[in-house]
Amino acid sequence: MKEIYLDNNATTMVAPEVLETMLPFLRDSYGNASSMHGFGGKVGAFISQAREQTAQCLGCSPDEIIFTSCGTESDNTAIFSAVRSQPEKRHVVTTRVEHPAVLNVASHLEIAGYEVTHLKVDEQGRLDLQELEDSLRPDTALVSVMHANNENGIIFPLESISEIVKDRGILLHTDAVQTVGKLPIDLQKLAVDFLALSAHKVHGPKGVGALYIRRGVPFRPFMLGGHQEKGRRAGTENVAGIVALGKAMEMAAIGIHEKNSRVRTLRDRLEQGILDAIPDVRRNGDPENRLPNTTSLAFKFIEGESILLMLDQHGICASSGSACTSGSLEPSHVLRAMGVPFTYAHGSIRFSLSRYTTDAEIDLVLQELPGIVSRLRAMSPFTATSKATGDCAC
């Protein structure tokens, strides 16, 4: 039985066309793009092509793109560059719901003596733009706000954010790992200075990402070494990965609106089907401004991990909003920031679809999930008889 893969915000299948594109660079064309001989030199043209494909997809110029090893490296590069290029500025603004690739850099900066403002979100997962505006100071080096959240799919209003931030001449970075290839992005209209993306979230391979750096923005490299990427990112180019990223970006852009409406229809059918069939379920976050492929649902009285284990027995892959660490279940920082009540937060799971998701797969989830939830609820110490307390049954 083939798995039903509904965990596409964690990673995606490599598109068969993308795999075909990268194979020659692993098999025969293994030369180093920096070599003097033609054997290596010729791969440089394919890197340039990938840079053009990536730039095309974002509406920027190819020389504003550097290739990195992942979304995490792109986020790290942008944030460290912004603070190192403005040593007199000691304040950074971000949000409480960022990916660890940003949050843990922010914590690192705090330990190094920077002040970090973590913007809050409301119960729908939305930012308060007034709070953003009030947080900006003369010594603010950078605002780092994700484009869409990986857990609940909520899209932040990046255009309005950029207007507020650019008015003050402050650098703006966005972690767009969840939106590139899912939403049309036009950097001509979007005044961000840095934008991070990752290939494996858009049907490319793992281990390659890119960072957009707006022309004219001061830049300090994160990786030091050779002269690759015009001195902006040292390290021998991952040619196969870069070529694959270019192809993945090109493919994502083709018919993006049609693909989105198809995925949205499937997601809505899954979500509505679950809400209709199962009592005490709620949706986490703003239903309007969110990615078309994502739904985060909270099942009262039971634990997300238990649902996932039982879904897994039916070959269905989803993900939970919690991380079970050292025997105690902590709801995810995103659900906590949204103030999702305890009895729901622990029972939260995320389904994230892709352009490869089929109607039959959604049917199967809708067929299996109600039984799974009622079996778990029948065993739950929280259901009906005992009242929910602060303790959890991990």
Ligand X SMILES: *Cc1c(COP(=O)(O)O)cnc(C)c1O
- 204 binds ligand X, rule: CB under 6 A: no
- Which one among 153, 181, 204, 209 touches ligand X, defined by CB under 6 A? 209
How far is the C-alpha of 95 from the C-alpha of 127, rounded, in Å?
8
Per the annotation, the verdict on 324 as an active-site residue is yes
- 76 binds ligand X, rule: CB under 6 A: no
- Which is closer to ligand X, CB of 14 or CB of 146? 146
Query: Which residues within the stretch 128-157 sit at the binding site for ligand X (CB under 6 A)?
Result: 146, 150
Count of residues in contact with ligand X, rule CB under 6 A: 14
Binding mask 92-111 for ligand X (x = CB under 6 A): -------x-x----------
Q: How many CA atoms lie within 13 A of 194 on its CB side?
A: 32
CA distances from 187 to 61, 262, 269 (A): 9, 25, 33
- 21 binds ligand X, rule: CB under 6 A: no
| Cα dihedral 207, 212, 213, 215 in deg (nearest 10) | 140
- Which one among 177, 213, 297, 392 touches ligand X, defined by CB under 6 A? 177
- Which one among 54, 72, 322, 354 touches ligand X, defined by CB under 6 A? 72
- Which one among 7, 64, 175, 286 touches ligand X, defined by CB under 6 A? 175
In the complex, least distance from residue 128 CB atom to ligand X, rounded to whole angstroms:
21
H helix or E strand, kind and range, residue 312: helix 304-313
- HEC letters along 44-72: HHHHHHHHHHHHHHHCCCHHHEEEECCHH
- Which is closer to ligand X, CB of 259 or CB of 350? 350
Please report the DSSP string for 284-335 in residue order: -S-SSSB-TTEEEEEETTS-HHHHHHHHHHTTEE-EESEEEETTEEEE-HHH
How far is the C-alpha of 268 from the C-alpha of 361, rounded, in Å?
14
Q: Check if the beta carbon of residue 123 is closer than 8 Å to that of residue 296.
A: no
- 210 binds ligand X, rule: CB under 6 A: no
- 294 binds ligand X, rule: CB under 6 A: no
- 181 binds ligand X, rule: CB under 6 A: no
Query: In this chain, which stretch among 64-72, 227-235, 301-309, 326-334 interacts with ligand X, using CB under 6 A?
Result: 64-72
CA distances from 208 to 58, 289, 311, 332, 355 (A): 17, 28, 30, 26, 21
**Token digits of residue 370:** 């109600």
Query: In this chain, which stretch among 44-52, 175-183, 230-238, 296-304 interacts with ligand X, using CB under 6 A?
Result: 175-183
- Which is closer to ligand X, CB of 89 or CB of 147? 147
**Token digits of residue 328:** 């105690």
**Token digits of residue 347:** 């029972």
- Which is closer to ligand X, CB of 21 or CB of 198? 198
- Which is closer to ligand X, CB of 100 or CB of 218? 100
- 350 binds ligand X, rule: CB under 6 A: no
- 337 binds ligand X, rule: CB under 6 A: no
Q: What angle, rounded to 10 degrees, do the helices at 43-58 and 239-253 form?
A: 30
Query: Which residues touch 246 (CB under 8 Å, ≥6 apart)?
Result: 49, 50, 51, 52, 53, 54
Residue nearest to ligand X (CB): 71
The candidate with the shortest Cα–Cα distance to 354, out of 32, 7, 57, is: 7
- Which is closer to ligand X, CB of 350 or CB of 377? 350
Query: In this chain, which stretch among 12-20, 67-75, 162-170, 274-282 interacts with ligand X, using CB under 6 A?
Result: 67-75
Identify the active-site residue in 57, 60, 317, 324. 324
- 178 binds ligand X, rule: CB under 6 A: yes
- One-letter amino acid identity for 199? A
- One-letter amino acid identity for 210? A
- Which is closer to ligand X, CB of 320 or CB of 380? 320
Residues that bind ligand X (CB under 6 A): 70-72, 99, 101, 146, 150, 175, 177-178, 198, 200-201, 209
Residues belonging to the active site: 324
